[in-house]
Structure 1
Amino acid sequence: MAYAILYAPQPILPALATEFQSSTHTAALLTTAVMLPLAIAPLSYGFFLEKFPAKHGLIASCLIMASCHISFALITDISQAIIIRAIEGMTLPVMLTSIMTLLTRTTQKEKLQQTLSIFIALTIVGGLSGRTASILFTEYVSWRGTFIILAILSLLALKPLQTLPNHKPKHQQTIKSSHLIECLTHPTNRYLYPFILLQFFTMVAILNFIPFRILETFNQDSYWPVLLVYSFYIAAIGTALITIKMRKSFNHLQVYGGLSWLIICCIGLWCFSFNHILMYCLGFTLVCGAIFANHSIFSTEVNQNEEKYSGLANGTYLTFYYTGGTLGSILPSVWIEQTGWNTTLLYLTVCCMASAILLICYKRATTKHLLQQNHERF
C-alpha cells in the first residue's frame, strides 16, 4: 500500500499537466515533492525508531495518508497537488523506515536476505498496483478515483497495524549524532550508499519520463501503451526473489551479481534508444529487473554490515535511495530538453559505470575489513 501511494501519480503526469495546464517540468515536481522529503526525513526517523516502537509510527502515518488522499482527490490546481505530495513525502518515510526496521529486528540473520527480498517483491507489487490503478481510472473514469481508493485502504490498514508487536531496539544506550556518522563512514557501507543512490536515480529517470516519451513518440491519446510498458515492471518481482537462491549458491554475490545486473541495466537503457514499443517493453523489463535485484542484494548487505543500529542503517539507506530518486525526477528533464532523449540515456549509462566502480571499491574494502577483524581476533 505504501508503494502504491508513492507511485500512483507517476504514469498519469501527462494527464495532470493537461488538466491543470502546466508544463512537463511542473508536473514532474509531483514526483520531486514526494521524493525530496523521502531523501531527508529517514535519517531523523531512524533516530526516532531507535527509541520508540515502529508500530506507533505506522498507525500515525496511515491516518495522515488517508487525509492527504482525500485532499488530493479534491484539488483544483497543480500547486495544491504539489503541497499535498510534499506532506505525503514527509509521512511515507515513517511507513518505509518502520517496516524495514520491524523486519530486520524480528528476522534471524540467516533469513534476512529471504525476508528483505520478499519485502522488495511486495514493494514492486504495490508500485505496479498504484500505477495500474491510476492509468485505468484515468482512461475510463477519473484519475481522482485512485486517491479515494487509497484513502479507504489507508483507513482499513489501521486495525491490523494495531495487532503488531511493540518491538524495541536491543540496546538501551542513548543514540547520538556520532552514531549516524559511524553509519555513514562504515568501512564498507560507505560505498553502498552512493551505489544505491545512482541506481535509483537511473530507475526514476526512466519511470518518470517514459510516459511523456511514449505519448510524444507514438502520438497517442490513450494511456494503454503506457500501461503496456509499465506492466513489464512485474518482471522485477522475479529478479528480487531470485536473489534469495543466488545468495545461497554464489560467493561474493554482492559484487559479481551486482556487476552482472549493471550490465543488464545498460542493455536495457540501450533498448530505449529504439522508437519501438516492444523495445520499450524490453528495456523496461531489463532496467527495472536489474535495479530491483541490486536493491534486494544491497539492502540486505547494509543490514548485515550494521547489526547494532538497524533503525539508523535503514534510515541512512532510504535517505540515499530517495536522494537518487529526487535527482532522477529533476535532472533528466533538463537533459532531455537540452541534449535530447538518446544523450540522456548515455548519461544514465555513465551512472551505471560509476556504480560498477563503487562495487569494486566495496569489494576491496570488505576484504580489507575482514582481514583487519581476523588480525584483531588472533
Structure 2
Amino acid sequence: MSLFKLLLCSVCTFLVLYAPQPLLPIFSELYDVSIANSGTLMTVTMLPLAIAPLCYGVMLSQFNPLSILRIALLILAASNLLFAYSDYFSGLLICRLIQGLTLPAALIGMTSYIGTTFQGDALQRNMTLYIGSSIIGGYLGRMLAANFAAFWQWQNFFYLVSVSLVVLAMIIPKQVKREESTKQKIKPWLHLAHLKDTVLLRLFVAVFFMFFCFAALLNFLPFIVQNQYGITDNKEIGFIYTGYLVGAILSVCTPWLNRKVKNAWALLSLMFILYCISHIMLTSHILSLFIISFTLFCGCMFVIHATAAPLANKISTAPASVTNGAYVSFYYSGGALGSFLPGFIFEEYGYIAFLACLLVCCSFGLIACLANYKQGTSIT
C-alpha cells in the first residue's frame, strides 16, 4: 500500500474524531442538553482511546494491520452515517462510543504498518508525515464541519466523510507480506513493571495535564467565543480553529529547539511556562489578542507533545509498544477528562474560573517537568 493512501486514511480517521467538536453548540440546542453534557460526545470517544492502545497491540500481533485498518474504516463509515441520521442525543453517544472503540484499531493499524514496512531514516520520515497527517485531519475535521454547518447542513459533512472512508477501505490491498516466523507476540502486561520509573511517570503525568488543558479549551471553544465575543456564525468559529493549524506549523521548529536547548527537561519546563502564560493571555476581551494567545497555546502544546513522545522512548526500559501504549493512554486519559469535567466549571462559574482551573492543571505539568529537571536527569 502506498504511503499517500495511508496518509489519506489517517486524515479521514481524524476527521471522524474531531468533526463534532465545533458543532457542540448546535447539538446542545438541537437535543436540548447542557454545555457540559454536549462535551460528552468527545469524552465517550476519547475514553476508549485512553485504555485500548495497550490491548490492541496484542490483537495486531495476530492479524494483518491492513486488514484491521480496512475493517476499522468500514465501521467508522457506518457509525458516522448513523450519527448523522440519529434523532436522539443518546444515539449520538452510542455512535461516538463505537467510534472510540474503533479508532485505536485504525491508528495502531496505520502505525504498525509503517513500523513494519519502513526502516531507518525512511521510518522516521514517514512516521513524521503520519503525525503531520493527523494534525491536518484534526484541523480539517473542525474547520470543514463548521463551514458545512454554516453553508449547508452539518449532516452533509458526515455523509461525505462516510463515503470517503468506504472508498479508502476498498482500495486497501488485501494482502501484505509479513514475516510471521520472526514476529513475536507482544504481551504488554508482562512489561508494565518497567513503567514504574519515577522519571518516566512524571513525564506521563505532564503529558496527561498537557492534553487535559488542550482538550478542554478546544472542546468548549465554540461556547467561549459565543459568550465572550458574541460569535455565533459557524464560519467564524471554524476560522478561529486556524490557530490550531498555525500552532502545529510552529511546532515544526521542535528539532531546532532540541538542538539549542540541550536538556530536554529544560525545554519541556520552558514550554510549560509559556503554556501557562497563554492561559493567562486567553482572558483578554480583545478578539485579536485571543486568537494570538490561542495560537501560542496550540504551538506550546504541539512542541511539548513532539518533545515528550520521543523522550519517553529514550528513558523507558520497557518495549517500545508498551511505552507508546502507556504514553497514548495517559495522553487520551487527559483528553477524555478535559473534554468533560471543566465544562461544569464553565457552566457554573464562568470563563475566568474555567481558565483558572486549566492554569492550575497546567501548573501540575510544569511541576512534574521541573522535578525531573532538578533531579539532574541527563537524558536528552
Query: Given the two structures, how large is their TM-score scaled by the length of structure 1?
Result: 0.88
The answer to whether 1:297 aligns with 2:307 is yes
- Offset at residue 89 of structure 1 (A): 0.5
2:191, 2:318 within 8 Å by CA — same for their partners in 1?
Answer: no
Moved more, 50-59 or 3-12: 50-59
1:268, 1:286 within 8 Å by CA — same for their partners in 2?
Answer: yes
- Offset at residue 105 of structure 1 (A): 4.9
1:232 aligns to what? 243
- Offset at residue 306 of structure 1 (A): 4.6
Q: How far apart in 1 are the matches of 2:293 and 2:321?
A: 35
Q: How far apart in 2 are the matches of 1:224 and 1:241?
A: 27
1:12 aligns to what? 23
- Offset at residue 106 of structure 1 (A): 5.0
Paired residues, number: 368
2:4 aligns to what? none
The answer to whether 1:98 aligns with 2:112 is no
1:72, 1:81 within 8 Å by CA — same for their partners in 2?
Answer: yes
2:60 aligns to what? 49
- Offset at residue 234 of structure 1 (A): 0.9
**Residue 369 to residue 256, structure 1, CA distance change in 2 (3 Å):** closer
For residue 87 of structure 2, give the secondary structure of its aligned residue in structure 1: coil
1:287 aligns to what? 297
1:185 aligns to what? 196
**Residue 160 to residue 236, structure 1, CA distance change in 2 (3 Å):** farther
Considering only aligned residues, what root-mean-square deviation do their CA atoms show, in Å? 2.7
Q: How far apart in 1 are the matches of 2:297 and 2:379?
A: 32
2:69 aligns to what? 58
The answer to whether 1:87 aligns with 2:77 is no
**Residue 350 to residue 223, structure 1, CA distance change in 2 (3 Å):** same
Q: Give the counterpart letter for 1:97 in structure 2.
A: I
The answer to whether 1:261 aligns with 2:263 is no
Q: How far apart in 2 are the matches of 1:109 and 1:349?
A: 40
The answer to whether 1:30 aligns with 2:41 is yes
2:286 aligns to what? 276
- Offset at residue 25 of structure 1 (A): 2.1
1:223 aligns to what? 234
Mapping of 1:89-238 within 5 angstroms? 89-105=100-116, 108=119, 115-162=126-173, 165=176, 172=184, 175=187, 177-182=189-194, 184-186=195-197, 188-238=199-249
Moved more, 289-298 or 153-162: 153-162
**Residue 340 to residue 175, structure 1, CA distance change in 2 (3 Å):** same
Q: How far apart in 1 are the matches of 2:128 and 2:51?
A: 25
The answer to whether 1:78 aligns with 2:89 is yes
For residue 31 of structure 1, give the secondary structure of its aligned residue in structure 2: helix
Q: How far apart in 2 are the matches of 1:145 and 1:154?
A: 14
**Residue 364 to residue 155, structure 1, CA distance change in 2 (3 Å):** farther
Q: Give the counterpart letter for 1:256 in structure 2.
A: A
Q: Give the counterpart letter for 1:357 in structure 2.
A: I
CA-to-aligned-CA distance 1:275-308 (integer Å, 9 cap, x gap) = 2221221121011111111111112222344586
Q: How far apart in 2 are the matches of 1:240 and 1:25?
A: 30
Gaps of 5+ in 2: 1-11
- Offset at residue 97 of structure 1 (A): 2.5
Q: How far apart in 1 are the matches of 2:179 and 2:277?
A: 44
Q: Give the counterpart letter for 1:46 in structure 2.
A: G
Moved more, 357-366 or 200-209: 357-366
2:272, 2:362 within 8 Å by CA — same for their partners in 1?
Answer: yes
**Residue 270 to residue 157, structure 1, CA distance change in 2 (3 Å):** same
2:6 aligns to what? none
Gaps of 5+ in 1: 371-378
Residue from 355, 360, 371 that aligns with 2:365: 355
Q: Give the counterpart letter for 1:10 in structure 2.
A: Q
Moved more, 11-20 or 51-60: 51-60
- Offset at residue 240 of structure 1 (A): 3.0
1:101, 1:311 within 8 Å by CA — same for their partners in 2?
Answer: no
Moved more, 199-208 or 56-65: 56-65
Q: How far apart in 2 are the matches of 1:26 and 1:205?
A: 13
For residue 162 of structure 1, give the secondary structure of its aligned residue in structure 2: coil
Query: Given the two structures, how large is their TM-score scaled by the length of structure 2?
Result: 0.87
Mapping of 1:338-349 within 5 angstroms? 338-349=348-359
Q: How far apart in 1 are the matches of 2:316 and 2:125?
A: 18
- Offset at residue 368 of structure 1 (A): 7.4
2:273, 2:366 within 8 Å by CA — same for their partners in 1?
Answer: no
Q: Give the counterpart letter for 1:218 in structure 2.
A: Y
1:335, 1:344 within 8 Å by CA — same for their partners in 2?
Answer: yes
- Offset at residue 198 of structure 1 (A): 0.6
For residue 367 of structure 1, give the secondary structure of its aligned residue in structure 2: coil
Q: How far apart in 2 are the matches of 1:198 and 1:282?
A: 22
Q: How far apart in 1 are the matches of 2:283 and 2:352?
A: 6
Q: How far apart in 1 are the matches of 2:110 and 2:317?
A: 16
1:100, 1:314 within 8 Å by CA — same for their partners in 2?
Answer: no
